[in-house]
């Protein structure tokens, strides 16, 4: 009886270990594994033993296809846009997207910016259209993210928010020494450990610091104006629609309404789109004015 019981226990333990191993394999995609890719998915990072590969999704029309093109084949307007908005970027690859009937639809361009992949859509004339959503391999066919993953901020919990008092001493000292006139308003961290600080001084600024607290750059995101923080729902509907259509899978961080006296002058929204931070400005009606790539 003892032998039978012991054997049953061993069989049960073996089954549990096998199931655990199977689940782990299904939820990870290393460089050597094969996965079923949705149509139009483009790899932008390779999988490793500890990280999933990352893909752009929804890059071409249903039933269409992607043809690889060289950087030299991109329209001049596309090259100019990249240079103006992603200083120091590195080109990775590009495609011409075609519809099911073979007609040219758009260009898909993948770059590396601050060590992170960015996928952009341009129309056939080279004009910017939108930023593609990125997903880890395990999330290609679900809601687009998982807890603890690269894009888990999409759950809306703002875990990247950092108390101003928790900023490294080096960051605080830099502001005291170089921007003593600034009022610090908000701070966040990025996946690589960098710090972004929003401050006010005759306008709003975002200052970026390395994980070690070393100053990287300062970006003006609004003109001088009276400001108040507002919720996403307080932005005009046309502005919210622009964010949804232009930055697929974006994460809202902060927004401000800008006023001259009591008259609304415009709005600025701070967002994260697949790991890259942007400040997007709108006029009083919610029409898009400009986008500033922050980090």
Mean pLDDT of the residues in the chain? 88
What's the mean pLDDT in 175-189?
Answer: 95
Q: Measuring CA to CA, which residue among 199, 279, 226, 271 is closest to residue 288?
A: 279
pLDDT beyond 70 at 180: yes
What does the pLDDT look like over 20-63, one tens digit per residue?
333 333 333 443 444 556 778 999 999 887 788 999 999 998 89
Question: Would you state the CATH architecture of domain 42-155?
Answer: Roll (3.10)
Q: Is residue 239 within 8 Å of 282, Cβ to Cβ? A: yes
Place of tokens 């993953």: 149
Q: How confident is the model at residue 8 (pLDDT cuts 50, 70, 90)?
A: low
Written out in words, the top-level CATH class of the domain with range 226-293 is alpha beta
Confidence (pTM): 0.83
Same CATH fold, 226-293 and 42-155?
Answer: yes
Residue ranges per domain, the chain? 42-155, 161-220, 226-293
Q: Measuring CA to CA, which residue among 193, 221, 220, 197 is closest to residue 207?
A: 197
Q: How confident is the model at residue 71 (pLDDT cuts 50, 70, 90)?
A: very high
Cα within 13 Å of Cα(260), Cβ side: 7
């Amino acid at each position: 009886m003892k032998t039978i019981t012991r054997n049953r226990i061993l069989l049960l333990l073996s089954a549990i270990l096998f199931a655990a191993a199977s689940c782990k394999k299904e939820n990870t995609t290393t460089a050597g594994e094969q996965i079923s890719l949705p149509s139009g998915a483009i790899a932008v990072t390779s999988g490793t033993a500890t990280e999933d590969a990352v893909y752009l999704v929804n890059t071409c029309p249903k039933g269409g296809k992607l043809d690889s093109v060289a950087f030299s084949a991109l329209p001049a307007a596309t090259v100019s846009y990249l240079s103006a908005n992603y200083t120091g970027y590195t080109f990775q690859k590009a495609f011409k997207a075609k519809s099911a009937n073979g007609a040219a639809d758009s260009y898909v361009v993948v770059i590396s910016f601050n060590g992170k992949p960015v996928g952009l859509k341009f129309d056939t004339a080279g004009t910017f259209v939108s930023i593609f959503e990125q997903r880890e391999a395990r999330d290609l066919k679900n809601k687009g993210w998982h807890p603890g993953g690269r894009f888990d901020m999409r759950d809306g919990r703002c875990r990247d928010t950092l108390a101003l008092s928790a900023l490294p001493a080096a960051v605080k000292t830099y502001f005291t020494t170089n921007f003593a006139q600034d009022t610090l308003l908000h701070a966040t961290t990025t996946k690589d450990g960098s710090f972004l600080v929003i401050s006010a001084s005759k306008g709003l600024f975002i200052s970026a610091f390395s994980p070690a607290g070393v100053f990287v750059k300062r970006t003006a995101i609004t003109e001088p104006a009276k400001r108040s923080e507002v919720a996403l729902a307080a932005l005009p509907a046309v502005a919210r629609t622009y964010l949804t259509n232009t930055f697929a899978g974006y994460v809202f961080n902060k927004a401000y309404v800008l006023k001259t006296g009591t008259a609304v002058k415009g709005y600025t929204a701070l967002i994260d789109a697949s790991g890259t931070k942007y400040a997007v400005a709108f006029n009083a009606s919610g029409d898009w004015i400009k986008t500033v790539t922050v980090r």
